[in-house]
Structure 1
Amino acid sequence: MRLLKLIFIVALIALQYRLWFGKNSLPDYWHLQSDVVRQAETNTRLTQRNQVLAADIADLREGQVALEERARNELGLIKRHETFFRIVPVKQTTN
C-alpha cells in the first residue's frame, strides 16, 4: 500500500511539473493567448485601413472630382486660365 501511494505521488508530481514547466505548459498557453488577442487587434486595425483605401480607390476610379481634388492638394496643379492665390496670415509681433 505504501509503495502504491509513493508511485501515485511521484506520478502526480511529474504531471504537475509538465503542466507548469514543460513544453506547452500553462504559462506558454497564457502567453499564446495574449499574442492571439494582440494579433486580432492588429487585424481589425488593418481591416479598417484596407476599407478606407478601397473606398479611396473606388472614388478615384469612378469620380473625376476626387481625382481633381487630389491633384490640386498633393501636386499643386491648377487648371488652364486659372490663377492661384495663397493667402499667408500675418504673424502678430509683441513689443
Structure 2
Amino acid sequence: MGSRLVPLVLLALLVAIHAQLWTGRGSIQHVNEMHQRIEAQQAANAKARQDNDRLTSEVQDLKEGLDMVEEKARSELGMVRQGEIYVHVTPAARR
C-alpha cells in the first residue's frame, strides 16, 4: 500500500500544477492577457508622448511667434512699451 501512495501523491501534484498552468494566476491565458494589456498601454503612452511633443512645439512656436511680431512692430511701426522712450537713429550719409 505504501508503494502505491507515492505515485498517487505525485499524480495529484501533477494535476494541481497543470490546473494552475491552464486556469490560475500565471496561466498561459493570464500571461497572454497581460502581454496584450502591456502592448495597449505602450501604444497609449506613445500616443500621449506624441501629443505632448506636438503641444510643446505649438507652445514654442507661439512664444517665438509673439516675439517675432513684437520685434517687427518695434522696428517697422515704432512700437514702444509704457515707460520706454523711442529713439530713431538714422545712419550717416556716406561721402
Shorter-chain TM-score range: 0.5 to 0.7
Q: Deviations over 1:23-61 (max 9, x none)?
A: 332211110111101110111111011101100001111
- Alignment match of 1:46 (pick from 45, 48, 69): 48
The TM-score with structure 2 as length reference comes to: 0.62
Partner of 2:28 in structure 1? 26
Once the two structures are superposed, the pairs formed by residues 1-95 of structure 1 within 5 Å of their partners are 1-64=3-66
When Rg is computed on C-alpha atoms for both structures, the one with the higher figure is 2
CA–CA distance in structure 1, aligned partners of residues 68 and 60 of structure 2: 10
Moved beyond 3 Å, runs of 4+ = none
Give the 3 Å change call, closer, same or farther, for CA 66–35 of structure 1 in structure 2.
farther
SS of corresponding position for 1:20: helix
CA–CA distance in structure 2, aligned partners of residues 64 and 15 of structure 1: 68
- Residue identity opposite 1:22 in structure 2: G
Aligned residues with identical type, % of pairs = 27
CA–CA distance in structure 2, aligned partners of residues 62 and 30 of structure 1: 48
Give the 3 Å change call, closer, same or farther, for CA 66–60 of structure 1 in structure 2.
farther
Return 5+ residue gaps in structure 2 as ranges. 70-95
Give the total of aligned pairs: 67
Q: Provide the aligned C-alpha RMSD in A.
A: 2.0
How far the C-alpha of 1:65 sits from its partner, in A, is 8.2
Return 5+ residue gaps in structure 1 as ranges. 68-95
The TM-score with structure 1 as length reference comes to: 0.62
